[in-house]
Amino acid sequence: MIKTIIVDDEMKSQSSLFKLLERFCPDVEVIGFACNVKTAVELINQENPELVFLDISMPDGNGFDVLEQVNSRNFEVIFTTAYNEYALKAIQFSALHYLLKPINYTELKEAVFRFQDSKKDVTLDEKFKVLYDSLKNEYKKIILPTANGLRMVELSDIVRCEANGSYTDFFLDKKEDLMVSKPLSNFMDILPEHLFCRVHNKHLVNLNFVEQYIKGRGGRIILKDGKEIEVSEGKKKDFIESLKKFAHSLPDKK
């Protein structure tokens, strides 16, 4: 049985999640409930759960405060939230799990399955470090799910991303390329738009690696590694504007 704590400031949400777990996730044993940061920290320190369902927004703080204040973070977390785009982006960067309220039982079962199947290639402390950096808008690293487990990657090493069906191929600078088990659209939503630009339905490029743009109906990009990428006609204007903004943001060379 998976020892689990539910942290949520709404009793109705606590009860609803408990009933869903009881009915659809028989391997999960709920051992306690908390309704704010203070009681959550005390309960986690006392019970040492394996899994915590953690509400992001609470009266005396948020779920991230709980993670900072507990004695030990040797448990997995599934965040629950009504919707918070800013927080969700940070959570996705760190490969932590989340569920949007109202919680759907199929998504709940999938989240619990991912917990049970999760590979420990990246430690929880590493995940939380990426999470906290992302919350501060310091997007330096991203944790990517691959067939062989989780991989932590520096954003500065990502040359480009290419759609590959429901997967995405990550091409890295002087490192082994990765096939990631999420579609390209997922990374369009979370990779920093000042640094990454979608130039084609299949291609997302790191502007740091653009060497040359060749004019045309849509045009072509030549990257620093010599790779040529087609720019679609519909993406041309956005790409050129992104490139200009990026060039203006670079420090002057003296």
pTM for this prediction? 0.86
Read off the tokens for 225: 């590694």
**Residue-level pLDDT at 174:** 87
Write down the residue that tokens 């899994």 correspond to: 51
Report how far residue 19's alpha carbon sits from residue 203's, in angstroms, rounded to the nearest whole number: 43
* CB-based contact 192:245 (threshold 8 Å): no
**Residue-level pLDDT at 115:** 84
**Residue-level pLDDT at 252:** 52
* CB-based contact 180:167 (threshold 8 Å): yes
Report how far residue 250's alpha carbon sits from residue 234's, in angstroms, rounded to the nearest whole number: 26
**Residue-level pLDDT at 228:** 96
Within 10 angstroms of residue 22's Cβ, the number of other Cβ atoms is 12
Q: Could you tell me the CATH superfamily of domain 2-132?
A: Response regulator (3.40.50.2300)
pLDDT along the chain (254 residues), means of 10: 96 96 96 97 97 94 94 92 83 92 94 79 87 92 91 96 96 94 92 94 96 92 95 94 82 50
* CB-based contact 197:239 (threshold 8 Å): yes
**Residue-level pLDDT at 254:** 42
**Residue-level pLDDT at 253:** 47
Identify any residues that bridge with 30 across adjacent strands, giving them in sequence order: 4
Rounded alpha-carbon distances, angstroms, from residue 219 to 200, 212, 230: 11, 11, 6
Helix (H, G, I), strand (E, B), or coil: what is residue 206? strand
Q: What is the residue type of 94? A: S
Domain positions in the chain are 2-132, 142-249
Identify any residues that bridge with 180 across adjacent strands, giving them in sequence order: 146, 168
Identify any residues that bridge with 203 across adjacent strands, giving them in sequence order: 162, 200
Q: For domain 142-249, give the CATH number.
A: 2.40.50.1020
